[in-house]
Amino acid sequence: MLKTIDSLGELRGKRVLVRADLNVPLDGTTITDDGRIRAALPTLTRLVEAGARVVVISHLGRPQGAPEAKYSLRPVVGRLGELLGQEVAFASDTVGASAQDVVAGLEDGRVAVLENLRFHAGETSKDDAERLAFATELATLGDAFVSDGFGVVHRKQASVFELATLLPAAAGQLVRSEVESLRKVTDQPERPFVVVLGGAKIADKLGVIDSLLGRADRILIGGGMAYTFQKAKGFEVGQSLLDESKLDVVREYMERAERDGVELVLPVDTVVAPEFSADATPTVVPVEQMPADQEGMDIGPRTAELFGQKISDAATVFWNGPMGVFEFESFAKGTVSVAETLSKAAGFTVVGGGDSAAAVRTLGFDESLFSHISTGGGASLELIEGKSLPGITILEEDTE
C-alpha cells in the first residue's frame, strides 16, 4: 500500500513540496500537449482545498545540470494557473534566493512552481551523496512531500527518491491511480490479455516482451519495432528502423512464443515511403515484398484489420507505442485504427507511453474512451515488466 496524502495529517498552512511531471512538449514557448499538466491537477486541487502552501517541483526536457533558457518551466506556469483557476507564482531558480522568497510569500491554498530541477546536477547525479545534498536543499522548502510525477518514479533521482526520505512523504493521486491501473494489468489480468507494442525504442521495449511472454495471451507488434522481427524472419525491410544487434533476441522470443502457446502477431502488410517526410508518397506492400530502397512508415490496412480482430475480444489490453509515424497524416492510419479498436473494446484498456498517449489525444480520441492512459512511458513499462521502482518502493507503507 502506498502512503496517502491523508497520512500527512492536517495540511493547512503547511508547505507541501509536490514532485509533479510537468515535462510537456513545447514548440518554442507554446505547449503542444498539456496532458501532463492536467494529470497533476487532482493532487494540486486537493492540497489547495486543504489549505496547504503548495510548492510544485518538476523537470522539463534534458538540461545537463545547468540553467538553459529553452528548458525553463516558465511557459508551464500560465497554463497551470488557468487550469487551477488561480494565479500561480514562479521562482526563477530552484533552491536559491528566488525560490526561498516565493515559498516564504505563499499564502494558504496558493501554488508556486520552482524552476527546472535538472538545472542542478544533483538532481540526476549517479553519486548518492550529491543527490542527497540537493534533496536536502529542496527539503528546506517544505514541511511535507507528495510524490506525483509518475513519469519519473522509475528513476532514483533527488526529487523522486532522496527527498522522500527526508520529509514526511506520500503518493499523490496520479501516482496512486497509475499504480492501481497498471497493477490490474500485471496482477492476474482478466483474459484474454492482449498486448500491443509499437513505437521506435526497440531496445527499451524488448524487456517487456520478455516478461510478457509468460503472461500475455497475445502480443501484437507494429510500428518501428516490427521490422526487426520481419528481418529476423528473413524478409527485406529496406530503409526501415532496425536493430541489427537484437535479431537473435527477437528470434528467441519468436521460438519461445511458439513453444509456450503465446500468439505473437506480426504485420502482414506495411505502408512504405521513399523517404521519411510528411509528403512522401505512401505505398502499401505485403511484408514479403518490401522494396530495398523504401522505408516502412506504418502498418498496412490488412494488418490494421488483423490487429482489430485480435484486440476486440480482449478482456485486458495494454498498448504501448504508435503503429506508425502518426505525426505525419499519411502514416497515421494504423495508429488511428488501433486507437479506435481500443476505444470500442469492452475490456480494461490501458495506453502507456509518452508518444502513445500524445497520439491518442492529438488524433482526437476522448481520454474517457480508455480505462487508463498512463502519463509515464518508461515507468509504466517497468511496472508492466514487474520491476520494483525506487520512487514507488520509497512510498510504500512499512508493513511489519
What are the angstrom distances between the C-alpha of 113 and each of 50, 76, 81, 166, 241?
A: 18, 9, 10, 20, 39
When asked if residue 151 is in the footprint of Mg ion (CB under 5 A), the reply is: no
Contact 377, 358 (CB under 8 A): no
- 125-133, 178-186, 306-314, 349-357 -> range binding ligand ADP (CB under 6 A): 349-357
| Residue carrying C-alpha cell 474512451 | 369
Q: Which is nearer to ligand ADP, 122 or 354 (CB)?
A: 354
User: Does the footprint of ligand ADP cover residue 284 (CB under 6 A)?
Assistant: no
110 is catalytic: no
Residue 303 backbone class (left: φ over 0; alpha: ψ -120 to 50; beta: rest): alpha
Query: How many chain residues touch ligand ADP (CB under 6 A)?
Result: 20
Q: Is 122 in the site for ligand ADP (CB under 6 A)?
A: no
Which listed residue (151, 224, 334, 354) is catalytic? Answer: 354
> What value does the CA radius of gyration of the chain take, rounded to a whole number of Å?
22
Q: Using the rule CB under 6 A, which residue among 142, 354, 376, 391 binds ligand ADP? A: 354
Scanning 108-116, 130-138, 187-195, 354-362 for contacts with ligand ADP by CB under 6 A, the matching segment is: 354-362
Q: Is 324 in the site for ligand ADP (CB under 6 A)?
A: yes
Residue 21 interacting with Mg ion (CB under 5 A): no
Residues 158 and 390: their CA atoms lie apart, in Å, by 11
From the list 53-61, 63-71, 100-108, 194-202, the region that binds ligand ADP by CB under 6 A is: 194-202
142 binds, among ligand ADP, Mg ion, none (CB under 5 to 8 A by kind): none
Under rule CB under 6 A, residue 296 binds ligand ADP: yes
C-alpha 351: how far from chain center:
9
* Nearer of residues 347 and 352 to Mg ion, judged by Cβ: 352
Binding of residue 356 to ligand ADP (CB under 6 A):
yes
134-163: which residues touch ligand ADP (CB under 6 A)?
Answer: none
Pick between residue 162 and residue 295 the one whose CB is nearest to ligand ADP: 295
Residue 201 annotated among the catalytic residues of the structure: yes
CB closest to Mg ion, residue no: 355
The reply on whether position 199 binds ligand ADP by CB under 6 A is: yes
**List 15, 156, 201, 310, catalytic entry:** 201
Q: 133 or 247, CB closer to ligand ADP?
A: 247
Please indicate whether residue 354 is annotated as part of the active site. yes
- E strand residue ranges, the chain: 15-19, 26-27, 30-31, 53-57, 89-90, 111-113, 144-147, 169-171, 193-197, 218-221, 263-265, 269-273, 283-286, 295-299, 316-320, 348-352, 372-373
Q: Give CA–CA dist 191/183, Å, rounded.
A: 15
- Per residue in 22-59, is it b (16+ CB within 10 Å) or e — as a string? bbbbbeeeebeebbbbbbbbebbbbbbebbbbbbbbbb
- Alpha-carbon separation of residue 111 from 57, 130, 279, 303, 310 (angstroms): 11, 28, 45, 48, 46
- Listed in sequence order, the residues at least 6 apart from 84 whose beta carbon sits closer than 8 Å to its beta carbon are 41, 44, 45, 48, 111
Give yes or no for a contact between 21 and 37, defined as CB atoms under 8 angstroms apart: no
Q: Which of 130, 298, 355, 382 binds Mg ion (CB under 5 A)?
A: 355
Q: Applying CB under 6 A, which of residues 320, 337, 349, 375 lies at the interface with ligand ADP?
A: 320
Q: What is the nearest approach in angstroms of Mg ion to the Cβ of residue 355?
A: 4
Catalytic residue check, 378: yes
Say how far apart CA 112 and CA 17 lie, in whole Å. 10
Residues near Mg ion, by CB under 5 A: 354-355
Catalytic residue set: 36, 201, 354, 378
Residues near ligand ADP, by CB under 6 A: 198-201, 223-224, 241, 296-297, 320-322, 324-325, 327, 353-356, 377
